Amino acid sequence: MRPAYARLSRALGAAVDEDDGDRDEAAGDGAGANGDAPQDRYHVDFAPLLDFLHVTQRYMRESAAHLLALDQDMSQDHLRMSMVASDLQDGVRRVRMLPFETILGGFQRMVRDLSRQLEKEVNFNVIGEQVELDKRVLEAIKDPIMHLLRNAIDHGIESPDERVRAGKDPEGYVTLIVEQRGGEILITIGDDGRGIDPESLKRAALRIGKLSKQEADVLDDDEAISLIFLPGLSTKDSVTTTSGRGIGMDVVRQNIERLRGSVIVQNRPGLGTVFQLTVPASLTTMHCMLARVGQEVYAIPVAAIERILEVTDKDIHTVKGRQVIKLGQRPVTLVALADVLERPQRPAPPGEKRLTVVLRAGDKLVAFLVDDLPSEQELVVKNLGKEMVRVRNVAGVTMLGTGQVVVILNPSDLVKSAQAATRQRAPQAEDTAGQARPAARILVVDDSITTRTLEKNILEAAGYQVVTATDGQEALDLIRHTRCDLIIADVEMPRMDGFRLTETLKADLDLKHLPLILVTSLDSPADRERGILAGADAYIIKSNFDQGELLETIGQLLY
C-alpha cells in the first residue's frame, strides 16, 4: 500500500507544480498569440489515484476475509473448549457419583436386627438401588434414612398379633424407593403399619409445652402431622434404646434441608405412613434461575420453583396482616425478596405487573416478588468454606461466564425467613381485655461475654426484654426474684452447667413451666439426648446457629 501512496503523492505534487508554472507564465507573458489559455493548464492525471483506490479495495477484501476466518476459528475454538469443559465437568461429576446400593447394606442389617429385637416380621424391599448420587449427598442422607426406617419398624409396623386382628398379613412391609427426576433424587420410605395418630401428636406437644390447648383444638390433621418435626416430641410413654427420646425427626429435617432438600409426610391412619425426601443428585452443579433484585443478581434453584407468574395490585390480598395471592384456590404468602434479603428495592408504580417466583419447601409455598428473571443456567456451586459454613438464606456461590460472582439462595431458608418476616409485621397480639401484650422477658445464661452480648442484641432487636446471667447458679437466683418468660442457656458454665440448671428448673413445681433452650457447642448425639432428657424444650448447636431459627423457636415456645 505504501508505493500507491507514494505514487499518488508524486502525481499530486507534479500537478500542483505544473499548475503553479502555468500561472507564472500567464502572469509574465499575458495571453497567447490568439489570446486563448492552454487547454491542458488544469489537467490532472487520476491514474495514480485510481490505482491507490484499487489497491486499497483489494487490501480491504483481504482483511475482511482474514477477519471472517479469525471469527470462524474463534467460534470453533470456543465450541471445542465448551465441549472439553463439559466433558471434564461430567467426568468430575461421574467420579463423585456412587450408586445408592453402596450404603444399602447397613440398612438391611439394621432392619433385620431391629425386627428380631422387637419380635416383628418385616419384609424390607428396595427399588432403585442403582440410582447414582453425589458421595457427599449419600453420606448426609444415610442417618436420616436410618432413622426413618427405625421409626417405621418401631412406631409403624404392628406386632403380628395386632396385624392379624386388624385384618392384615402378619408380615409387615417397609419399602424404600430411590428415583431420579432431573437433577433431583426422590427417596420414598413407606410402611403398611398403623400410621400416625394426629391426636397423639397433639397430646405429646401439649405435654412438653410446645402447644397450648387452644392451638391444639384448631389444628387440623395435616397441621398436626407437622408436629412430628418438633424437637423433644415423642409419642412414646417410655424411653428405650430405640425410641422415646424425642430426638431424630427434627434432625432428619435439618439434615435434609442442609442439602437444599425437603421432607414431606403422607399419613394414612391404619394403613401406613410415607416419607418423601427430595435431595439434589449432585452438590457440584445446580440448575438455577437468575433473579435480579435492585442492582444485584441472585440464583434460585429451579427444582424449588413451583411457578413463575405476574401479579398486579388487584391480585394481592391482605389476610391477618400479611399479603397473599391465590394459587388456584390456595392462599400463598407474598413477600418481596428484597425484604427477606434485607436489600434495597425499587418501588413499583401502581398497576405495574410484578414478576413473582413461587418457591416450595416441603409442603409450604411462599411467593417472592423480584424485579427480573434474566436467564436460566447450569451453575457450578462453590461452598463458602468452614468460616461461613452456615449463612442464613445462602446455599453457596457461583461465578457466571462474565466473571460476576452470584449468591445461590437456599429455598428452605427463604421460606422460613419469609414466614418469620410476616409474623413480625403482623399486628401485635392482644389479650382478652383488648390490650397489647407486654414484651416477653428472656433470660440469657452464658459465661462467654461475646455470646451473651450477641444473643442479647439479637433478642432486643426482635423486641424482647433481656436479662443476663453468667452461670446456672446466678440464673436461679435471678429467676426467683425477676419475672422471666423464657430461658436461653449454655451448657458448659462454672458453678452450675446448663444440664443441671435444666434439671433443677424442671424439678421445681413453680418453675417447670418455663420454656428453656440450650444453645451449646456440644453436638454429639449423647449430649443432645442428655439435654432433651433433662427437660430442655429445644437444643441448638452453635456451629449451626441461625438467627432466624432461634427467633422462630422462641416464637413457637412463647406463643
pLDDT digits (tens, 9 = 90+) for 438-483: 578 899 998 888 788 888 888 887 778 888 888 888 888 888 888 8
> What's the mean pLDDT when you consider all of the chain?
78
491 band by pLDDT with thresholds 50, 70 and 90: confident
| Closest C-alpha to 301, from 180, 386, 413 | 413
DSSP class of residue 134? E
Residues with Cβ within 8 Å of residue 141, at least 6 apart in sequence: 133, 187, 255, 256, 259, 277, 279
pLDDT tens digit sequence for 384-436:
766 565 677 888 888 887 788 888 888 888 887 887 666 554 444 444 333 44
Please state, in angstroms and as integers, the Cα–Cα distance from residue 289 to each residue in 192, 204, 309, 370, following that order: 39, 41, 14, 12
Q: What is the pLDDT of residue 326?
A: 83
Q: What is the pLDDT of residue 21?
A: 53
64: pLDDT strictly greater than 80? yes
Helix (H, G, I), strand (E, B) or coil at 259: coil
Please state, in angstroms and as integers, the Cα–Cα distance from residue 441 to each residue in 143, 437, 460, 485, following that order: 37, 12, 10, 5
In the chain the domains, ranked by start, together with CATH numbers, are 2-20+45-95 (no CATH), 98-280 (3.30.565.10), 285-425 (2.40.50.180), 441-558 (3.40.50.2300)
Lateral strand order in the sheet of 364-370: 305-311, 354-361, 364-370, 330-336, 322-327, 317-319
For every residue of 146-170, DSSP letters joined together read: HHHHHHIIIIISPPHHHHHHTT--S
Q: What is the pLDDT of residue 320?
A: 59
Question: Residue 49: exposed, middle, or buried by beta-carbon count in 10 A (0-12, 13-18, 19+)?
Answer: middle
Strand partners, 333: 324, 366
Q: Cα separation of 74 and 76, whole Å?
A: 5
Residues with Cβ within 8 Å of residue 269, at least 6 apart in sequence: 194, 195, 196, 197
Please state, in angstroms and as integers, the Cα–Cα distance from residue 93 to each residue in 97, 224, 261, 302, 345, following that order: 6, 40, 19, 19, 38
pLDDT tens digit sequence for 262-313:
888 888 888 889 998 988 887 777 888 999 988 889 999 888 888 889 888 8
Q: What is the pLDDT of residue 201?
A: 82
Chain Cα centroid distance, residue 509: 42
Contact 301, 394 (CB under 8 A): no
Contact 553, 517 (CB under 8 A): yes
Residue with cell 468430575: 92
Please state, in angstroms and as integers, the Cα–Cα distance from residue 55 to each residue in 5, 68, 210, following that order: 10, 20, 90
219: pLDDT strictly greater than 90? no
Helix (H, G, I), strand (E, B) or coil at 268: strand
Strands 184-191 and 172-181: antiparallel
For every residue of 223-237, DSSP letters joined together read: HHHGGGGSTT--S-S
| Closest C-alpha to 368, from 314, 428, 410, 397 | 410
Q: Cα separation of 446 and 455, whole Å?
A: 10
C-alpha cell at 241: 434404646
Mean pLDDT on 50-56: 86
Mean pLDDT on 84-92: 76
Q: What is the pLDDT of residue 175?
A: 92
176 band by pLDDT with thresholds 50, 70 and 90: very high
> In this prediction, what percent of the chain has a pLDDT beyond 70?
82
Q: Is 434 left (phi over 0), alpha (psi -120 to 50) or beta?
A: left
C-alpha cell at 261: 432438600
Contact 399, 346 (CB under 8 A): no
Q: What is the pLDDT of residue 426?
A: 42
Contact 502, 534 (CB under 8 A): yes
